[in-house]
């Protein structure tokens, strides 16, 4: 990463230009001088806020500054975010709260205030949009930015603009970010994760292959717990092993995922930064190998699709007010059915049960070749699923769902199957999307 070659640098604290050879910034004495041979040539960035929820809470209550802080729900809940002090004590996100408190009994536990986090996340995004219109948010606190061609506008190269941005976020919002800068999305994202918090890592074209060779396969997008276990079973643990395999070989073994492994292991990633306006809907659908007419056979598919939609809503911190069911008959006729909810949702359970109701009316012996479920009328998550409006049973289900999501995040989808998909997951699981 940042190499010590004699190249000009940028002081990340005072934003002075540093001459070749100076280890510290001459102007302010800071050791945080950014140097890289390709610094002037890279323009794809990934910006990620550090321990976002915890950082916002610390900002708003300075007495928390030097204390371990955990954001999460209740004693039975799980850790949603924890600050770096809590991490040093062994706390991790998605950890059950009782375990986290075992590891770090002195931690201050704070209930998440989503409305506030959404507001702060928007502020950060507004500041990103002042740099370039090409901002692709990945979640409430991270986004890709493409700064190509903005040098004249800003009077500075992307690396400088990003260093200034990081400082500006600290000064004006009071939280910190980590920046990854590279020539493609994959490596920008890998880089931003490299020396958190307050990191700024650069991965250039020249070093991409050798850098990747030393990394575990798990840094590749889409290689989760389950797939990395498959790879480990085949004796593949590091990227240099992938680099030595032929594309055809990888494709034969792992299908389209093999192609992705081939490309990303070599730092080949041509995906562009896609600025996302407000999405109109979030949905997931699957085409069956064989047409299905039986309601009971469609139910687990609907459940799996609902969970996928819900996971995407949660990741994007949005919710939808209208549930949309889509069916395609064996003779290619499309049926869509909508139902509006009293308040927006992002919960798989509510999406599923609303969809189930509509599905019941459609299963009249017709054979279907496709089933899809989604939500539209998107809004931000602050208004979604108010506990006082949801009956007690479904509130419990909502809490359970939060726990299931955290486990899945940690152990992969297979770790938790609900009653509807249990044992039938192989058959019912929707096709993998390219997300």
* Closest approach of Mg ion to the CB of residue 48, in Å: 4
Stretch that binds Mg ion, among 46-54, 70-78, 290-298, 380-388 (CB under 5 A): 46-54
CB under 8 Å to 41, separation ≥6 — which residues?
183, 204, 205
* Cα separation, 261 vs 241, whole angstroms: 11
Cβ contact 191:159 at 8 Å: no
Our CB check for Mg ion shows the closer of 84 and 288 to be 84
DSSP state of 95: -
Strands (E), 111-176: 135-139, 142-146
Site string for Mg ion, 137-156 (x = CB under 5 A): ----x---------------
What is the Cα 70 distance to its own chain's centre? 20
Q: Does 231 bind Mg ion (CB under 5 A)?
A: no
At closest approach, how far in Å is the CB of 186 from Mg ion? 18
Position 317 contacts Mg ion (CB under 5 A): no
- Name which of 141 and 417 has its Cβ closer to Mg ion: 141
Q: Which two tokens stand for residue 228?
A: 């990395």
- Give CA–CA dist 202/34, Å, rounded: 9
Query: Segment near Mg ion (CB under 5 A), from 87-95, 133-141, 280-288, 317-325?
Result: 133-141
Phi, psi of 337 (to 5 degrees): -130, 135
Only segment of 50-58, 121-129, 349-357, 399-407 that touches Mg ion (CB under 5 A): 50-58
The span of 45-53, 67-75, 299-307, 366-374 binding Mg ion (CB under 5 A) equals: 45-53
Helix, strand, coil abundance in the chain, percent, nearest 5: 40, 20, 35
The HSE-up count of residue 361 (CA atoms within 13 Å, CB side) is 11
- Shortest reach from residue 142's CB to Mg ion, in Å: 5
Place of tokens 């995004």: 125
Tokens of 250: 């990888």
- CB of 428 within 8 A of CB of 304? yes
Q: Which part of the chain contacts Mg ion (CB under 5 A), choosing from 52-60, 163-171, 291-299, 333-341?
A: 52-60
Residue 93 or 284 with smaller CB distance to Mg ion: 93
Cβ closest to Mg ion, residue 60 vs residue 249: 60
Which residue's CB is nearer to Mg ion, number 52 or number 368?
52
Element (H, E) at 265: helix 256-265
142 labelled catalytic: yes
Q: Are 80 and 55 in contact (CB under 8 A)?
A: no
Q: Report the residue number, 10 or 47, with the smaller CB distance to Mg ion.
A: 47
Beta carbon of residue 158, minimum distance to Mg ion (angstroms, whole number): 21
List binding-site positions for Mg(2+): 48, 141
Please state, as a whole number, how many other Cβ atoms lie within 10 Å of the Cβ of residue 61: 13
DSSP state of 379: E
Q: Of the two residues 314 and 321, which places its CB atom closer to Mg ion in the complex?
A: 314
Q: How far is the CB of 293 from Mg ion (least distance, A)?
A: 45
Give the shortest CB-378-to-Mg ion separation in angstroms. 22
CA distance 185 to 208: 13
Six-digit token string for 102: 């075992």
Please tell me the distance from the alpha carbon of residue 161 to that of residue 126, in angstroms, as a whole number.
15
Residue 48 binds Mg ion, judged by CB under 5 A: yes
> Of the candidates 2, 39, 49, 341, which one interacts with Mg ion according to CB under 5 A?
49
Task: Given the residues 142, 307, 401, 417, select the one marked as catalytic.
Answer: 142
Tokens representing 187?
A: 């490596």
- Interface with Mg ion (CB under 5 A), residue total 4
Question: In 296-418, at which residue ranges do the beta strands (DSSP E only) sit?
Answer: 318-329, 334-345, 368-380
- CA 362 to chain centroid: 35
Q: How far is the CB of 52 from Mg ion (least distance, A)?
A: 5
Residues within the interface to Mg ion (CB under 5 A): 48-49, 52, 141
Active site residues: 142
């Amino acid at each position: 990463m940042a190499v010590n070659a004699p190249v000009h640098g940028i002081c990340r604290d005072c934003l002075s230009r540093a001459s070749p050879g100076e280890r510290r910034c001459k102007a302010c004495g800071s050791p945080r001088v950014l140097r890289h041979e390709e610094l002037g040539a890279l323009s794809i960035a990934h910006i990620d806020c550090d321990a976002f929820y915890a950082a916002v809470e610390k900002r708003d209550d300075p007495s928390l500054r030097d204390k371990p802080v955990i954001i999460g729900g209740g004693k039975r809940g799980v850790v949603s975010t924890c600050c770096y002090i809590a991490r040093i004590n062994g706390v991790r996100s998605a950890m059950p709260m009782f375990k986290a408190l075992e590891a770090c009994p002195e931690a201050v536990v704070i209930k998440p205030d989503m409305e506030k986090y959404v507001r702060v996340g928007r502020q950060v995004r507004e500041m990103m949009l002042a740099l370039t219109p090409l901002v692709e948010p990945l979640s409430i606190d991270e986004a890709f930015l493409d700064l190509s061609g903005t040098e004249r506008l800003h009077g500075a190269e992307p690396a400088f603009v990003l260093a200034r941005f990081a400082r500006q976020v600290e000064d004006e919002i009071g939280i910190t970010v980590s920046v990854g800068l590279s020539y493609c999305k994959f490596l920008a994202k890998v880089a931003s994760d490299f020396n958190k918090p307050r990191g700024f890592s650069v991965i250039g074209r020249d070093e991409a292959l050798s850098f990747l060779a030393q990394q575990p396969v798990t840094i590749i997008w889409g290689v989760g717990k389950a797939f990395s276990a498959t790879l480990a079973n085949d004796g593949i643990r590091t990227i240099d092993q992938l680099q030595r395999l032929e594309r055809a070989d990888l494709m034969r073994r792992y299908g389209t995922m093999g192609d992705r492994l081939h490309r990303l292991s070599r730092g080949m990633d041509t995906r562009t930064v896609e600025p996302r306006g407000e999405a109109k809907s979030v949905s997931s659908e699957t085409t069956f190998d064989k047409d299905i007419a039986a309601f009971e056979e469609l139910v687990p598919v609907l459940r799996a699709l609902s969970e996928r939609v819900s996971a995407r809503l949660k990741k994007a911190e949005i919710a939808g007010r209208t549930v949309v069911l889509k069916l395609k008959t064996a003779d290619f006729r499309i049926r869509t059915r909508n139902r509006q909810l009293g308040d927006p949702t992002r919960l798989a359970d509510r999406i599923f049960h609303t969809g189930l109701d509509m599905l019941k009316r459609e299963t009249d012996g017709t054979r279907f070749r496709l089933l899809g479920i989604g939500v539209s009328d998107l809004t931000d998550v602050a208004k979604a699923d108010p506990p006082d409006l949801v009956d007690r049973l479904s509130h419990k289900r909502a809490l359970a769902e939060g726990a299931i999501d955290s486990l899945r995040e940690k152990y992969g989808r297979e770790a938790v199957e609900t009653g509807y998909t249990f044992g039938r997951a192989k058959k019912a699981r929707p096709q993998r999307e390219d997300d």
